[in-house]
Amino acid sequence: MSKPKVPRLSNQILDEASTWFVEFSAGDLDQTGREEFIRWLRTSPEHVRAYLQISAHWDESGVLEASAPRDVDELIAMARNDTNVVPLGSRQATRDTAPADADVEPSAVPSRGWPRRAIAAAAGALAIGLLAGTWYYTNRETYATGIGEQRTLTLDDGSVVELNARSRIRVVYDTHRRDIELLQGQALFRVAKDHARPFLVRAGETSVGALGTQFDVYRRDSGATTVTVVEGSVAVSTRATAGVALEPVEPSIPEREPRPVNGASVLVAGEQIKVLGSAATKVAHPNVLAATAWTQKQIVFQSTPLVEVVEEFNRYNRRQLVITDPGIRAIRISGVFSSTDMNSLLNGLRDLGAFAFTEKDDRIEIAHQ
C-alpha cells in the first residue's frame, strides 16, 4: 500500500507547539502554565498531533550527535559570530513554502470529517514517537546535575553512576559497547560485569576502560582529569595513545610497577592518576577516601591549592567564589567539610584569617588579607 500523505502542520500550531515544548524542556512551567498547556491541548487533535510529533522528533534528534561538532567552544564562537540574532518565527521563515491554507486553524471541536489519513499519519508519528523515545532514552542519553545537586543513575546493564554536582555525562549503549563520555565534572562508576561489552569512560583526552570495577573520574574545568580506582583495576590512556585499542584489564592480572603513561597504563585499587593534556602522572600517596568523599556529602581537602578549593565550592553554590588576587591561588588548604552546608567551608576559610572577602550579589570575591 502507498504511504498516506501527511498534511503539514499549520504555522501557527507549529509555533505554539514548539514554544510549549521548549517551556517543558526548560522546566519553566508553573501551575498556571500547565493549566494553559492542558487547555491548549484540548482545543484540537491537531495540537495533540503537533506536540507528540515534536516530542517524537526531539527523541529522534539524538542522532544529531553523530554529526555535531566535537568542540563546544568552537560551536559557541561560531554562534556568537552570527549577527542575525533575532530568531524569526516560522510564519516569516517559511512564508514562501508553506501551503496556502497553512494558517487556517482547524475547528475547535473535532468533526467527523477530520481527514482519516491525517489521523492515520498522526498515529504513525505517535507510535514512532513512543517507541523511538524509549529506545533513545535508554541507549543514547545525556544526564546532567546542577549546582549542589547529586544524582544516582542505574544504567541498563546494572552499572551504577553517581553524578556529582555540576556534572554531565553522555551514555551510549548498544550490543557491543558501553561508552560513557564525562562532559563535565565528576562521577563514580560501579561497573557491572559484562565481558562482551567493554565499559569505556572518556573525559576529554583521557580514556578509562574497565571490567567489573569501581572508579572515580573527575574532569576539572581547568582541563586536568583525575582517575581514582576504588576496586579492581582499569586501563587509562590519553589521546596520544588513541590508536591503540584499549583492552579492559582483568582485576586478577597483577600490575605493580608504577610507570609513566606511555600507551595504556594499568591502575589498581587504591591508585590515582592525574592527566593533563598528554602528560599523565601517578599520584604518589593517593587518598581514595578523600577522592570519593563527595558521595558521602563530604569534601576533603588535603594541602589542596585554593584555586581547586574554589572550583569545588562553586559546584555546590549558586553564589560563586571568585579569586581576585592571583597571588593566593596556590595557598594550600586542608580540612573536611560538609557539601550540604557550604557555609562550613566559607567559615573555615574565614577562620584561617589569611583572606579578605567582599560579598557581591552574585559572587563572593576573595583576596589576600
Partner 1 sequence: MRNAAADLPDLVQEVFLRLLRLDDHEAIRNSQAYLYTVASHVLHQHALRRAAVTENADVTDIASDLEHTYTDPATLLELEELYERIGQGLKESAPRAYATLILHRCEGMPLQEISERLGVSYSMTKKYLAQAVRYLERQLEESREAR
322 scored as a contact of partner 1 (CB under 8 A) = no
Q: Which is nearer to partner 1, 144 or 268 (CB)?
A: 144
Determine the interface stretch with partner 1 among 7-15, 232-240, 307-315, 338-346 (rule: CB under 8 A): 7-15
C-alpha cell at 251: 582485576
Q: Which is nearer to partner 1, 178 or 274 (CB)?
A: 178
Single out the residue of 106, 143, 290, 335 in contact with partner 1 (rule: CB under 8 A): 143
To partner 1, the closest distance from the beta carbon of 17 in angstroms equals 8
C-alpha cell at 65: 550527535
Single out the residue of 5, 332, 350, 360 in contact with partner 1 (rule: CB under 8 A): 5
CA 366 to chain centre: 29
Sign of the torsion formed by the C-alpha atoms of 196, 202, 206 and 208? negative
Question: Does residue 267 contact residue 229 with C-beta atoms inside 8 Å?
Answer: yes
Single out the residue of 48, 172, 268, 283 in contact with partner 1 (rule: CB under 8 A): 48
How many residues bind to partner 1 according to rule CB under 8 A? 90
The binding track of 224-253 with respect to partner 1, each residue x by CB under 8 A or -, is ------------------------------
Determine the interface stretch with partner 1 among 18-26, 203-211, 241-249, 299-307 (rule: CB under 8 A): 18-26
How would you class 362 by CB atoms within 10 Å of its CB: exposed for 0-12, middle for 13-18, buried for 19 or more?
exposed
135 scored as a contact of partner 1 (CB under 8 A) = yes
The binding track of 169-188 with respect to partner 1, each residue x by CB under 8 A or -, is -x------------x-----
Of the CA atoms within 13 Å of residue 145, those in its CB half-sphere come to 23
To partner 1, the closest distance from the beta carbon of 362 in angstroms equals 12
Nearest to 57 by CA among 9, 108, 109, 97: 9
Gyration radius from the chain CA atoms: 26
79 scored as a contact of partner 1 (CB under 8 A) = yes
Q: 329 Cβ partners below 8 Å, 6+ apart?
A: 305, 306, 307, 323
Single out the residue of 95, 104, 105, 123 in contact with partner 1 (rule: CB under 8 A): 123
Of the CA atoms within 13 Å of residue 274, those in its CB half-sphere come to 11
**Which run of H or of E encompasses 274?**
strand 272-276
Q: Which is nearer to partner 1, 183 or 354 (CB)?
A: 183
41 scored as a contact of partner 1 (CB under 8 A) = yes
Tell me the DSSP string of 122-144.
Answer: HHHHHHHHHHHHHHHHHHEEEEE
To partner 1, the closest distance from the beta carbon of 186 in angstroms equals 15
104 scored as a contact of partner 1 (CB under 8 A) = no
Q: Which is nearer to partner 1, 52 or 273 (CB)?
A: 52
Single out the residue of 85, 108, 196, 284 in contact with partner 1 (rule: CB under 8 A): 85
Q: Which is nearer to partner 1, 81 or 252 (CB)?
A: 81
CA distances from 78 to 72, 73, 87, 234 (A): 10, 9, 16, 38
Q: Which is nearer to partner 1, 6 or 307 (CB)?
A: 6
